[in-house]
Amino acid sequence: MPATPPIRSKPVSRRTVLKAGGTLLLSVLAPMTAQAAQILAVRVWPAEDYTRVTLENDTDLKVKHFLVPDPDRLVVDIEGLVLNSTLKSLVAKIESNDPYIKEVRVGQNRPNVVRLVFDLKEKVTPQVFTLEPVGTYKHRLIFDLYPVKAADPIAALIEKGEWSQDDKPADGAAPATGQPALASQGGASSNAQGAASQSTAAATPPGQAGAAASAPSTGANAPGQSPAIATQSGKPGAGEPDPAPAHHKPGQKSGQEKMVRMLTIALDPGHGGEDPGAMGARGSREKDIVLAIAKRLKDKIEDHPNMRVMLTRDGDYFVPLGKRVEKARKVDADLFVSIHADAFVKTSARGSSVFVLSEKGATSSAARWLADKENQADLIGGANAKGHDPQLASVLFDLSTTAQINDSMKVGKAVLGEIGGINKLHKGSVEQAGFAVLKAPDIPSILIETAFISNPEEEARLLDDEYQDQIADAIVKGIRRYFAKNPPLSKNRLT
């Protein structure tokens, strides 16, 4: 029987090995690529300014969106996605008091494409964009729904206003003439020339017919003479300065509405929404604490005549840093106060601080570190890069004049002095650094670190109602002391 010829194997080429290896790799990766992206979390942040919907996921997503009228709807198609329970939970997260979203429907529109349909309460201008991973967040797909016609900020301020105003004289009393009396703290006189230039009218807030009558001026001042220093009877306590005196136009009759210079304070509770700010050991969040303090501060400021407050945010939602400055400028704010709760890597760090803008660099390495950290808020909170104009931001910084910084230092020193009476100061002087939120070119601006939330003892104080009241009282006293010595000039808008 003939022998079986030996089988001769051909030498395996390098190309053959590579092809085989590639085929094996594709067979392993094919199931992975077929797997859809995973939605890790869904969050909804409703607010009058805008409603934000966030889908956090494990990869970048491709998305298409369009508006459908009659009834108004926003339709969003997300590619490479399979419907899961996390995404379905979005339906239950839409609240009945959401200003813009009535409800949302979620479904698998076609293989690997999920469709979201937002039924709207009114027409909106949507902004849809993605955010790269930052901090503890993975990829985020953002839907910001803005009203087509934004409310006029001055009108909104007046409509929501619950502030107090100087009242008309008591029955039978003649109205004060000339420049009114300015109360002063500690007997220091205020700038009469600056006060005399005030000439804008304040609209009476809706639903407020009046408050307790204030004491009339003790007499008319002779031309060129400084106004008398006096204390009003009313809400301001004894010895407190009255930063917003009322006065009449020349020739104004007794029955006419009184003309006053309303002071507008912009209060800026830091962080919010997607950006929790610093975290305490007890799990407390900076964004919640500073909002609570800001609301207390608002009430205390508006207890005083002719002072009103605009909050850059009045709920748990994110406002980009530049937008905070823009809001203050739109209402012609006389002062901008940003409120924060500090944090540091060492839990032993403690004390309150006040910061103002610096054109030449930070006054300390700690101030520089803090400014860098606070300036990251737009990355964590999720600002739309397409809506940010870096050239405009640069121009605003260039317009931040020495005069603005000088005024900011004055009010900063006044507030720091008052805060020092209730809490240890981290540093005994006002510090300076390049905080983006302080770059309004025409508004004195300060940033207050109320205490260190990273310090367990100070975190407990920040969560305490009494301490929040004390810190708010101290800030009010500092603000009023500043305006008593630096009365604001008149403005070209009647507000």
Tell how strand 445-452 and strand 353-357 pair up. Answer: antiparallel
- DSSP assignment of 38-75 equals -EEEEEEE--SS-EEEEEEESS--EEEEEEETTTTEEE
Residue from 467, 431, 466 nearest 448 by CA: 431
Reported as type and span, the H/E element at residue 470 is helix 465-485
- CB within 8 Å of 307: residues ≥ 6 apart: 163, 164, 243, 244, 262, 263, 265, 301
Q: Which string of b and e fits 260-291 if b means at least 16 CB within 10 Å? A: bbbbbbbbbbbbbbbbbbbebeeebbbbbbbb
Q: How far apart are CA 183 and CA 193, in angstroms?
A: 15
Q: What is the Cα Rg of the chain in Å?
A: 30
Give pLDDT, residue 20: 59
Match 């005083």 to its residue by tokens. 304
For the record, the structure tokens of 113 come out as 């494409």
Q: How far apart are CA 178 and CA 173, in angstroms?
A: 16
Helix (H, G, I), strand (E, B) or coil at 236: coil
- DSSP assignment of 96-127 equals TT-SSEEEEEEEEEETTEEEEEEEESS-EEEE
Give pLDDT, residue 157: 80
Per the document, the length of the chain is 495
For the record, the structure tokens of 244 come out as 């917003």
Give pLDDT, residue 391: 55
Contact 258, 243 (CB under 8 A): no
* 495 residues of the chain, pLDDT tens digit each: 555 555 555 555 656 655 655 555 544 444 444 566 899 999 999 999 999 999 999 998 999 999 999 999 999 999 998 899 999 999 999 999 999 999 999 999 998 899 999 999 999 999 999 999 999 999 999 999 999 988 888 887 877 666 555 543 333 333 333 333 333 333 333 333 333 333 333 333 333 433 333 333 333 333 333 333 333 334 444 445 555 444 444 444 444 444 567 899 999 999 999 999 999 999 999 999 999 999 999 999 999 999 999 999 999 999 999 999 999 999 999 999 999 998 888 999 999 999 999 877 676 677 776 777 777 777 878 787 765 555 555 555 555 568 889 999 999 999 999 999 999 999 999 999 888 899 888 899 999 999 999 999 999 999 999 999 999 999 999 999 999 999 887 554 444
For the record, the structure tokens of 75 come out as 């339709």
- DSSP assignment of 202-220 equals -PPPTT----SPPPPPSSP
Match 């080429």 to its residue by tokens. 13
Q: How far apart are CA 308 and CA 301, in angstroms?
A: 7
pTM: 0.72
Give pLDDT, residue 388: 54
